[in-house]
Structure 1
Amino acid sequence: MSDNLLSYEVRNGVAEIRMDDGRANALGHEMIGALNGALDKAEKEASAILLSGREGRFCAGFDLSVMSGGPLAVQELVGSGAKLLTRLYMYPLPVITACTGHALAAGGLLLLASDYRIGAEGTFKIGLNEVAIGMTTPLFLLHFARDRVPAPLFDQATVHARIFDPESAVAAGFLDETAAPDALMSTAAAKAEAMGALPRAAFSGSKRKAHGPTVRHIEDTLSADSSSFDGAH
């Protein structure tokens, strides 16, 4: 499976999903749809997911061409993105992400929603910069951050819009480890194969228990909070 936004291939039981729109891998409606389609396929034929981006660019956030289209356009796109993120957070297979470069805003959220995150070493920017670009942080962003970001860094990572390099992103909860760029994909693939060998029912059941309360909070507040997505509040 492949299209102009991502490629998909199963190797050793791992569904390798690589985003590459030729630019910054922004999350627009087409990319979100392509990712959901790949997740549908992987659930039937793989034991784990390996998500990555193009070299130097993992994901730059939501598509600015859509985000500039007014409040309703913003609400629709960010709402769709939130549903993708909660799907990943509850996905029955292990989700391993190889952060190939910059991961900002929704890119940082993709990291927070993954089960294990390995980042390429380098001068890359990782974090949630919504406040810095004039957007009030959505509640679902705060829920994900509370689960993954250590309490002393929570305000810095969200309200202060602090951006981290890969090394400090480990301490901040966005990554679990880093690897040299030329070893990133092999390291991530090995981790995906190891986690994919875990008993599926036990893994997915435990993941539902661990992540379910967060997802329920997100689902309960998403509609009411959507009015803040345009940054006007």
Structure 2
Amino acid sequence: MQQAVQYELNDSIAVITIDDGKRNAMGPAVLRSLAAAVALAEADAAAMIIRGRDGVFSVGFDLQVFARSNPDEIHEMVHLGAELALSLFTSPIPLVTACTGHAYPMGAFLLLASDLVVAADGPYQIGLNEVAIGLTLPGFAVELARATLSPPYFQRVITGEMLAPSEASRAGYIDHVVAAGELEGAVRAAADALIRVDVAAYRATKTKVRGEAAARIRAAIDEEITVEKYRMRARR
């Protein structure tokens, strides 16, 4: 069976590929594998690339987990996703993400947490569609979107609107849109450029730029954990 998350180290750049052979849904097992790959990259590499499979970056959280209506399983999945997004948002090494296709939450959260996102042009949908499918956007995701999306597009998460790559670049999900055949080269060139930046300056500046937002994301995660613990006690 193909592993959904693959890791490769190439000339000091870690390449993490999400490819389950389907739609790259992110359930607890995939999220744990991604977190482990990111930790390995931060220990081994000067920069990392995260990419999906052709046509799909990720359809986001595994909706089958929501459908099973097990509160503990749902909480675990969302919490793992929140911690992964925060770890990428504050990562000590540069992160370039190759958006290879559709990016729904949790996939869109990974885009927002990146330093640079290059997307393949195509008939793809990118965004935070929770409201459109009857879900409430988690607090950590609200703070992540607040920190990264342009104000008009941040307000549009209220309706769960999805965007084509060109508009997603105006919103703040994506930095560059290229032809699909040019994606790998553009992503590698971006990562090669980032490994040449001064590491100390990068880390210090990233902390100054993202520190306040990271604190808000952390607080939102902790608040939701506290609320869930209260609900679990109430169910007993």
TM over 0.5, shorter chain: yes
User: Partner residue of 2:168?
Assistant: 169
CA distance in 2, matches of 1:148, 1:136: 19
User: Partner residue of 1:120?
Assistant: 120
Instruction: Map 1:29-44; keep pairs closer than 5 Å.
Output: 29-44=28-43
CA distance in 2, matches of 1:10, 1:80: 24
CA distance in 2, matches of 1:218, 1:116: 20
CA contact 2:32–2:80 (8 Å) conserved in 1:
no
Q: What number of residue pairs does the alignment pair up?
A: 225
User: Partner residue of 1:147?
Assistant: 147
Q: Which has the higher contact order (CA 8 A, sep 6+)?
A: 1
Q: Does residue 4 of the first structure (1) align with residue 11 of the second (2)?
A: no
Of the structure 1 ranges 205-214 and 130-139, higher mean CA displacement relative to structure 2 is found in 205-214
User: Partner residue of 1:46?
Assistant: 45
Q: Deviations over 1:141-167 (max 9, x none)?
A: 1111111111122111x1011110001
- Greater fraction helix: 2
Listed as ranges, the gaps of 5+ residues in structure 1 are: 229-233
Residue 11 of structure 1, CA deviation: 1.8
CA distance in 2, matches of 1:30, 1:151: 34
Name the TM-score, length of structure 1 as normaliser.
0.92
CA contact 1:50–1:192 (8 Å) conserved in 2:
yes
Identity of aligned residues (%): 36
User: Partner residue of 2:199?
Assistant: 200
Secondary structure of 1:159's aligned partner: helix
Listed as ranges, the gaps of 5+ residues in structure 2 are: 229-236
CA distance in 1, matches of 2:68, 2:141: 21
CA contact 1:12–1:193 (8 Å) conserved in 2:
no
CA distance in 2, matches of 1:221, 1:163: 24
Of the structure 1 ranges 166-175 and 217-226, higher mean CA displacement relative to structure 2 is found in 217-226
User: Partner residue of 1:211?
Assistant: 210
Q: Does residue 16 of the first structure (1) align with residue 20 of the second (2)?
A: no
CA RMSD after TM alignment: 1.4
**Letter aligned with residue 166 of structure 1:** P
Of the structure 1 ranges 47-56 and 206-215, higher mean CA displacement relative to structure 2 is found in 206-215
CA distance in 1, matches of 2:44, 2:219: 32
CA distance in 2, matches of 1:6, 1:222: 25
Instruction: Map 1:24-103; keep pairs closer than 5 Å.
Output: 24-70=23-69, 71-103=71-103
Q: Deviations over 1:193-216 (max 9, x none)?
A: 101111112111211222121121
Name the TM-score, length of structure 2 as normaliser.
0.91
**Letter aligned with residue 196 of structure 2:** A
